[in-house]
Structure 1
Amino acid sequence: MHTISNEMQSCVDECLRCYQTCIGMASNHCLPAGGKHVEPAHFRLMLACAETCRTSAHLMLIGTPEHKHTCRACAEVCEACARSCEQVGDMRDCVEQCRRCAESCRKMAA
């Protein structure tokens, strides 16, 4: 059985929380809010962020060294998503979770 370090488990947890936050905010906050919350570039970025987080968590859980590549990409996408959510406004939970995930993924990618 593959075991992962505490640091990696922490990153998996952050990625899965970010996945849940972005999907939840997109579906339950942005769609009902409309307007700038559903502008295509912003909404697609939220979905991309969620999927990148899920993929990064998956690669860490299965124990492939390639997780460093997805974690690097995840950190970049999470930062972009945080900036976009900050610009749209009224999305503090998403901004904060994306930044926590980006920080954790940067450490895993190093």
Structure 2
Amino acid sequence: MTHHLNAEMKACIDECLSCYATCLSTATGYCLEMGGEHTQKEHFTLMLACAEICRTSAHFMLIGSPHHTHVCRECAEICSECSDDCERIGDMQECVDACRRCAESCRRMAA
């Protein structure tokens, strides 16, 4: 059985994969270099969780799992929390923007 991805789902997969890469590289590169508030456990764990849920959401959509709606709903919530926390700490606008785009796209997939 072959499933076909519509344009909105393809866009969401792209946003999820972009956010995954951005959060992971920001956390393991920039945040580790900066230290301080950037590496506090709560923030650092949130960034890694965000990266992982984004990767997982893309995976669920790519394999055509009907459960992608549940995963996308959680992804939107975690991305929103991550964007707010990155904005609060500051100097991570690329991560803030990627998380917000992904959250919005995942909200549409979860609807």
SS of alignment partner, residue 15 of structure 1: helix
Match of 1:34 in 2: 35
Question: Is 1:78 aligned to 2:62, yes or no?
Answer: no
Match of 1:93 in 2: 94
CA distance in 2, matches of 1:29, 1:84: 15
Give the drift of 1:2: 2.2
CA distance in 2, matches of 1:6, 1:96: 21
Match of 2:20 in 1: 19
CA distance in 2, matches of 1:10, 1:107: 11
Give the drift of 1:75: 0.2
% same residue: 60
Match of 1:5 in 2: 6
Whichever residue aligns with residue 106 of structure 1, its letter is R
Question: Is 1:107 aligned to 2:84, yes or no?
Answer: no
SS of alignment partner, residue 64 of structure 1: coil
| Segments ≥4 residues shifted beyond 4 Å | none
Per the normalisation by structure 1, the TM-score is: 0.98
CA distance in 1, matches of 2:48, 2:65: 24
RMSD value, Cα: 0.5
> Which ranges of structure 2 fall in alignment gaps of 5 or more residues?
none
Whichever residue aligns with residue 68 of structure 1, its letter is T
CA distance in 1, matches of 2:3, 2:67: 15
Number of aligned residue pairs: 110
CA distance in 2, matches of 1:80, 1:107: 17
Give the drift of 1:98: 0.1
Match of 1:59 in 2: 60
CA distance in 2, matches of 1:13, 1:38: 27
Give the drift of 1:91: 0.4
SS of alignment partner, residue 63 of structure 1: coil
CA distance in 2, matches of 1:21, 1:28: 10
CA distance in 2, matches of 1:82, 1:69: 20
